[in-house]
Amino acid sequence: MEQPSAPKGRRSSLTQQLVAEFSRRIREGELRSGEKLPTEQVIIRETGVSRTVVREAMSRLQAEGLVETRHGIGTFVVDASQTGSSPQDAPAIGTPGDAAPIIELRLSLEPESAALAAQRRTPGQLEAIRQALDELHRCARLGKDTLQADFEFHRQISLCTANSFFTDVMSQLGSSILPRTRSGFGNIYYVTAHRR
C-alpha cells in the first residue's frame, strides 16, 4: 500500500490514474447515473493506494461534475441530465449587471465557509486545501488558466465545513462564484491573497 509519506509526484500520479479509471468506468456505463461508488476502504483494498489518494481522486471527480458526495451516505455518479456541477458547465457571469450580485454572494458565503472550515477541518482536509492552493499558485505562476484550480481550492474549503449545503452551492454555482479567469503575472497577486 502506498504510504502517506510517499513523494508528492508519485501520489499525484496515482491520483490521476484513479481519476482516469473511474472516469472511464462512468463514461463506458460500467458505473451508471445514481449508482453508489465503492467505499474508501474497498477502493483502498482493491487498488492498494492510500486514503489520501482516494480522497484526492474523489475530489477531482466531484470537481469535474462526475460524482457527488452525500454527507453520511456515500459518493454517487451524477445523473447525466444534471448541469452546473462542473465549473466549465456552470452559468458564467454574462453581463456587467451580474457581477455585483455574484460578489455579494461571495462576500456572504466565503467568510463563514472559511471560519467553519478552520474550526472543523481534519489534518487530511487541511493538506487537501494546501495542495489545491499550491496548484492554484503553480497555474498562476506559469500564466495558465486558473479557473479549475481556483474552483477546487474553494471546493476543498467548503468540504471542510462539514455542511453539505456549502458544498452544494459551490457545485451548483461552479465558476460563476469565482472571479473571471485571469492568466499571467497579475494572477499571482490574486493567488497570494488566498494564502493569507
Q: Is 171 contained in some domain?
A: yes
Q: Are residues 45 and 108 in the same domain?
A: no
Q: Are residues 101 and 72 in the same domain?
A: no
Q: Are residues 34 and 112 in the same domain?
A: no
**Phi, psi angle pair for 142, to nearest 5°:** -90, 0
Q: Is 105 contained in some domain?
A: yes
Q: Are residues 128 and 71 in the same domain?
A: no
Q: Are residues 62 and 107 in the same domain?
A: no
Q: Is 89 contained in some domain?
A: no
Mean pLDDT across the chain = 76
Question: How many domains, the chain?
Answer: 2
Q: Are residues 70 and 106 in the same domain?
A: no
Domain carrying residue 155: 97-191
The full DSSP string for the chain is ---TTS-HHHHHHHHHHHHHHHHHHHHTTSS-TTPBPPPHHHHHHHH---HHHHHHHHHHHHHTTSEEEETTTEEEEPPTT--S-STTTSPPP-SHHHHHHHHHHHHHHHHHHHHHHHHH--HHHHHHHHHHHHHHHHHHHTT---HHHHHHHHHHHHHHTT-HHHHHHHHHHGGGGSPPP--STHHHHHHHHHH-
Assessment of whether the complete model's pTM goes beyond 0.75: no
- CATH number for position 67: 1.10.10.10
Q: Is 179 contained in some domain?
A: yes
Q: Are residues 112 and 62 in the same domain?
A: no
pLDDT band per the 50, 70, 90 thresholds, residue 96 = low
Q: What is the pLDDT of residues 162-184, one digit of tens each?
A: 887 887 777 666 655 555 444 44
**Which segment, 9-13, 16-20, 61-65, 68-72, is predicted with the most confidence on average?**
16-20
Q: Are residues 41 and 107 in the same domain?
A: no
pLDDT band per the 50, 70, 90 thresholds, residue 8 = low
Q: Are residues 44 and 108 in the same domain?
A: no
Q: Are residues 103 and 179 in the same domain?
A: yes
Cell (9 digits) for 111: 467568510
Q: Is 61 contained in some domain?
A: yes
Q: Is 86 contained in some domain?
A: no
Judge whether residue 60 has pLDDT over 60.
Answer: yes
Among 16, 42, 77, where does a domain finish? 77
Which long-range contacts link 63-71 to residues 24+ away (Cβ below 8 Å)? 63/87, 63/148, 63/151, 63/152, 63/155, 64/19, 64/23, 65/89, 65/171, 66/22, 66/23, 66/26, 67/22, 67/26, 67/37, 68/171, 69/164, 69/167, 70/164, 71/162, 71/164
pLDDT at 184: 40
